[in-house]
Each structure stands twice: as structure tokens, then as C-alpha cells.
Amino acid sequence: MSFINLRGHEIWHQEWKKRKEEPLLLLHGGLSSTESFAPKILPSVKRTHRIYGYDRTAHGKTKVRDGYYHFKFQRDEAIAYLEDVVKKPAHIIGHSDGGIIGLMVAIARPDLVKTLVAIGANYHYDCGLNHQIFDGTVEEEAKDKFASRTGQPRELLVEIIHKAHKVWASEPRMTKSQLKKIKCPTLVLAGDDEPFSTDHTVSLYESIPNAQLAIVPGTSHAVLKEKPELVKKILQDFYRNPSFPMTLNPNRRLKETLRMSGQA
């Protein structure tokens, strides 16, 4: 783990090497970090993939810079990381904002994404999301930790959180027609009590042609903490065979199933 220069900006980067296995990129959630996200995912993939992760601008140990937090900015940063650091197409697992960025990368640069797992992700801000108005209150201890971790002024954390809430109220703005462009095998995973509607999660799943859906019962946006063993089994099952599912009684997938079996 170390800082690396990504096109003129120092970002915090981690890599878990595993011989010649295929690369997998972890994209942490909003106001989070690779350090907090990676331990929740590593048990599912550390034996099968070469894993990469980085703290996005204004997250974790990576400092702010102009234009930060807008999703297009974060999408372009992820593309730059895939091009310059990973240097080949990768599997992507993203949670929350990280899942949103994964979707956007898969739309903009399908050549860089082998498979995608979007956990607790919405594709549009108008999704029944319970927007909370940030009143500027941040615990002093959190400010101290932020300053110690990043070397930036304590009060900058207030600005970052305010910016996050402002962006979440107006972004992302993906459309169903854009989602239909995602051709890589995709797993949409969510709790059954996310901060946005389950209808929105189903809409995301149904808009992506080669998608699979997992709604984990009795969980929230913190699904990775609440039922880690169940999530681990779902992820491992997905990676064992992420190609188009050939089910015994297809409905949504009937036309494609017939085509692949030569019956269409």
C-alpha cells in the first residue's frame, strides 16, 4: 500500500497480488475508503483474483482537488486507474457510490470491464432515496481523525460531507437506455431495506441485459456487515460462472436462452 501518482494527483493505492489471476478492482462507497471496504470483500475473492483498490479523490487518505465528488469526475478517475495502473480489463466490485461508478465505467468503457458487481447502488437520484439534509454537524473526533489521516485542515471534512449530500440530491442520472448498453455479466446485489426503493433496484436489474439479481433478506445498505457469509456465498457463486444464466424455466431470459441453445 502506498501513494501513487495518477495523472498528476497523489492517490492512496493498495494491491493484493495473487500470481497471474485476473485483476479485480474494488470501488468503495461514498465518504468511505478502501481500508474499510476491502476487508468485507477480500474473503470472497482473494483466492481467485489479483485485487486492486484505491481511495478516490477526497476519500480515505487521498486529498481533494478541483471538481471532486461529482460522479463523472469519479468515473473518469476510475477509468484512468484501470488504464494506467491495472492496465487491462478487470472485474469490478463497487458498493454504493462505488457501484454507481462501476455502472458508469461499464457504460462508457465496456472494453475495461469483464464483470460487474454493483452492491447497494442506484442509477438515478430520483429513486425514492430518503435524502437527509446535512446541517454541518460533524463530531470533533471525526475531524481529528480526518486531519491526522490526510494532513488536511480539520474543517475541510465539513465541506466534503456537504458536497457529498449535494451531489447525492442531484446525481447520478443514468437512463435505462444507457444501462442497456452494459453487456458484461453483472450482479445487482442489495439489501431488502435500502435507502432507495426495491422497485428501483429491480428496474436496474431488468435494464441490464446480462444481469443477475440478489436481494438479501433482512438487510439494509449495510448488507456487507449484516450478512457477510451469505454475501460471500453469492459472490463466489457468481464468479464460478458469471456468463449468461441458463435456467430450467426461463421467463425474462427466454429469448436469449433459445438463441444460445440454437432453438430460436
pTM given for the model? 0.96
Delineate the domains of the chain, giving CATH numbers in brackets.
2-131+169-260 (3.40.50.1820)
Beta strands 23-27 and 90-95: pairing type? parallel
**What pLDDT, in 10s, does the model give residues 57-114?**
999 999 999 999 999 999 999 999 999 999 999 999 999 999 999 999 999 999 999 9
Identity of the residue numbered 98: G
Chain centre to alpha carbon of residue 221: 13
DSSP line for 164-191: HHHHHTT--B--HHHHTT--S-EEEEEE
pLDDT digits (tens, 9 = 90+) for 187-246: 999 999 999 999 999 999 999 998 999 999 999 999 999 999 999 999 999 999 999 888
